[in-house]
Amino acid sequence: HESDDDSYEVLDLTEYARRHHWWNRLFGRNSGPIVEKYSVATQIVMGGVTGWCAGFLFQKVGKLAATAVGGGFLLLQIASHSGYVQVDWKRVEKDVNKAKKQLKKRANKAAPEINTLIEEVSLS
């Protein structure tokens, strides 16, 4: 059974575009659904080509980002060893230990049975 609260309005964009002229001015008069314009084979080819292009682009951008992060880390290490940057390793260790304690508390609250299993495995 369906109540008034559960009813939804379906919006047909083709009818919406015909009734609202700003849509036509923004997207053009022939901005109907692409499904009606091209055959299934053409749509599959277009989807494949655009998917391949997007994958190729993300691959290149990902490599560039990884290179930038790795290069930045390398430069930071060189600067540290050269004396330009001083790292307070005691503070780093203190912060890491604090983070480990917080994670352990949250993990104990989340699933205590998993933690006992992990402790048994690590003790063996």
The more confident residue out of 52 and 46 is 52
16 assigned to some structural domain: no
The more confident residue out of 4 and 98 is 98
Domain total in the chain? 1
10 assigned to some structural domain: no
Determine the structural domain holding residue 108 and report its residue range.
88-123
52 assigned to some structural domain: no
Rounded Cα distance between 65 and 51, Å, is: 21
Confidence of residue 83 (pLDDT cuts 50, 70, 90): confident
Confidence of residue 36 (pLDDT cuts 50, 70, 90): low
What is the structure's pLDDT at 90?
93
9 assigned to some structural domain: no
